[in-house]
């Protein structure tokens, strides 16, 4: 892969996808500055832009930003309170916008281009029970990606997203019943759910020079989940 960023700021580095992205970028020669929950609380107001500025100064600048921090609570729409919704928007959407905007400002001030990739979700376009607030935060994130891409293109900055289907990272922060994992696996055209290592190659490719003509897009990386369900069979079990 050509043109991998020399230095990358990775938000959400302690999550399953974040660890896989870090491993792949470092294997390709990128120096990665990772930030996890213990480094910055993305739910708090007024912290993300200063954090990005400080990390930029300490590292001597970045060529890329990856935002794969996120919350995935399962709450039926009728049981979703303001606190849950506000926290989802703060972490999944607001922090992405503010981190991306600060990264672009710093790139412009340093007269350098850059690339950003955000982790969205297939939920942004496909409803599932229990994901209404989460899906709203990811749909808003994809709007942020398009807006950032349009406004930062004159600065030489690209902005894209990947939209995984369900990724089994066994997160203690976002626990998921194993019965749900089994049901999603059965419905997938691939017959399984994604692993973090299935998502990382698309992210690193979007950061590279090989994707230089792609910006403002959200690319499904879902094993075919977005094309339909393997278990929704309405055809009679007969042949003619």
Whether the CB-CB separation of 67 and 35 falls below 8 Å is answered with no
Q: Which of 134, 138, 223, 225 is catalytic?
A: 134
Interhelix angle for 48-59 vs 95-109, to 10°? 40
Place of tokens 């302690």: 14
Please give the structure tokens belonging to residue 72.
């995935």
- CB neighbour burial string for 12-51, b if at least 16 within 10 angstroms, e if fewer: bbbbbbbbbbbebbeeeebebbbbeeeebebbeeeebbeb
Residue 151 burial class via C-beta count within 10 angstroms: exposed 0-12, middle 13-18, buried 19 and up: middle
Q: Alpha-carbon distance 224 to 230, whole Å?
A: 10
- Of 37, 156, 135, give the one whose Cα is nearest residue 93: 135
What is the DSSP secondary structure assignment for residue 167, as one 8-state letter?
B
Q: Alpha-carbon distance 129 to 148, whole Å?
A: 30
3-state SS, residue 182: helix
Is 72 one of the annotated active-site residues of the chain? no
Residues catalogued as catalytic: 134
């Amino acid at each position: 892969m050509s043109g991998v960023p020399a230095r990358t700021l990775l938000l959400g580095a302690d999550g399953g996808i974040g660890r896989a992205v870090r491993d792949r970028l470092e294997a390709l020669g990128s120096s990665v500055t990772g930030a996890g929950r213990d480094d910055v609380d993305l739910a708090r107001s007024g912290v993300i832009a200063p954090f990005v500025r400080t990390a930029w100064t300490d590292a001597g600048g970045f060529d890329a930003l990856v935002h794969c921090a996120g919350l995935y609570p399962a709450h039926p729409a009728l049981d979703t309170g303001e606190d849950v919704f506000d926290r989802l928007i703060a972490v999944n959407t607001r922090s992405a916008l503010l981190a991306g905007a600060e990264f672009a400002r710093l790139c412009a001030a340093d007269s350098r281009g850059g690339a950003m990739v955000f982790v969205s979700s297939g939920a942004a376009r496909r409803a599932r029970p229990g994901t209404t607030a989460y899906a709203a935060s990811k749909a808003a994130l994809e709007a942020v990606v398009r807006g950032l891409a349009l406004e930062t293109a004159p600065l030489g900055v690209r902005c894209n997203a990947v939209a995984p289907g369900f990724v089994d990272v066994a997160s203690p922060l976002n626990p998921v019943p194993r019965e749900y994992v089994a049901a999603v696996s059965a419905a997938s055209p691939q017959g399984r759910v994604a692993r973090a290592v299935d998502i990382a190659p698309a992210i690193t490719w979007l950061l590279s020079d090989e994707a230089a003509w792609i910006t403002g897009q959200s690319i499904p990386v879902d094993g075919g989940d977005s094309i339909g369900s393997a278990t929704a069979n309405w055809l009679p079990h007969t042949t003619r």
